[in-house]
Amino acid sequence: MQLMKAKGLPARSTSAIRLGGLLLVCLLPLSCDTGTFDPFDNGERYFTLFGYLDERESEHTLRVIPLSRFPAEITDPSEPQASIDGVVTSTDVRTGVVTRWNHRLDRLDDGNYGHVFRGRFQVRPGRTYRVEITRNDGKVTAAETTIPRFPVTVPDPDTLFFPYEVSPDSALTQEVHLPGIVSPWEIYLDYDLQGTWVRVPYGRSGSRTEDGWKITVELNRDAVKMREVLGIPPGGRLPLLHAISISVRALDDSWDPPAGEFDPEVLAQPGVLSNVELGYGFWGGIGSYIYTWRAPGLN
């Protein structure tokens, strides 16, 4: 009985798949070459899928692997498994609008080919989207995701920000509280220096709180980055700092990994993280949060 592995992403990916390329491969069962599975020992499951919807994108990408007795790897477009018995649609659960996704056999980063579907539409925060892969015999693999929605009102500064602190080595820091954000993927700080914005990536730094996420903004460290970007010598005077903007790309609640840790060795194990009905894999959603506040000068 043939065991299967899911490997690789399209070599010519869209921005929607580039963001989480490595993350998606490592989060999902059947990936990262960490394990194999026998589809015929797992009841009625028809496809493995992985992808996500991004609030900032209008084109979305979904990788689909049929569960069959054929090998998962497609080394040549002429092979039988290069064709797929499956139609992909997604539905906005609130409005009932259905979008049919277009199929293409793409070359993957490991040199093999894979079934990649693309759908063009704008997703809305707070809405739930259901994707379905339907075979000719009517068998369906499905998954749902809800795009994170964050408050648009101005937060209360007394609860959003903690006081500035000066460490013994004169480093200036400030803790920022982000309520409602359970699982950030990317965090950026943008500094407004007299109309010139400098972006400093913070990744997934910080820690979880009872009602959200908290990060420590390291103003002196970021000033070094600002000087590099603006071509100012070390210790040179920076333009007047007007404001700081924090932007977060956050994952939907179902994408939150166990114990809040993105450990590929753990998450790649089958059954650890999956929201697919009658199949394997994961389909998630990404939302955006932006807030700007006044900040002290760094000169």
Phi and psi for 117 in degrees, rounded to 5?
-110, 145
**Dist. CA 228–CA 235, nearest whole Å:** 11
**CA 182, 188, 194, 196 torsion-angle sign:** negative
Read off the pLDDT of each residue in 69-87 and give the average, rounded to a whole number. Answer: 83
Read off the pLDDT of each residue in 62-86 and give the average, rounded to a whole number. Answer: 85
Q: If you write DSSP's letter for every residue of 106-148 in order, what string do you get? A: EEBTTSSEEEEEEEE----TT-EEEEEEE-TTS-EEEEEEE--
Read off the pLDDT of each residue in 76-81 and give the average, rounded to a whole number. Answer: 83
**Dist. CA 100–CA 120, nearest whole Å:** 9
pLDDT of residue 281: 86
pLDDT of residue 156: 53
Structure tokens at 138: 């009517």
Which pLDDT tens digit goes with each residue over 162-209?
444 444 445 688 888 888 888 888 999 999 998 899 999 999 889 888
Phi and psi for 87 in degrees, rounded to 5?
-115, 130
∠ CA 219-225-227 to the nearest 5 degrees?
Answer: 100
Distance of CA 35 to the CA centre of its chain: 23
∠ CA 143-11-81 to the nearest 5 degrees?
Answer: 60
pLDDT of residue 190: 94
pLDDT of residue 14: 36
Which pLDDT tens digit goes with each residue over 17-59?
333 443 344 333 333 333 344 544 556 889 999 899 999 999 9
> Percent of the chain, pLDDT > 70?
70
Read off the pLDDT of each residue in 209-234 and give the average, rounded to a whole number. Answer: 89
Exposure class string for 90-119: b at 16+ Cβ within 10 A, else e: bbbeeeeeeeebebeebbbeeebbbbbbbb
Answer yes or no: is pLDDT of 131 > 80.
yes
pLDDT of residue 145: 94
Read off the pLDDT of each residue in 85-105 and give the average, rounded to a whole number. Answer: 97
What SS3 class is residue 216?
Answer: strand
Read off the pLDDT of each residue in 131-159 and give the average, rounded to a whole number. Answer: 81
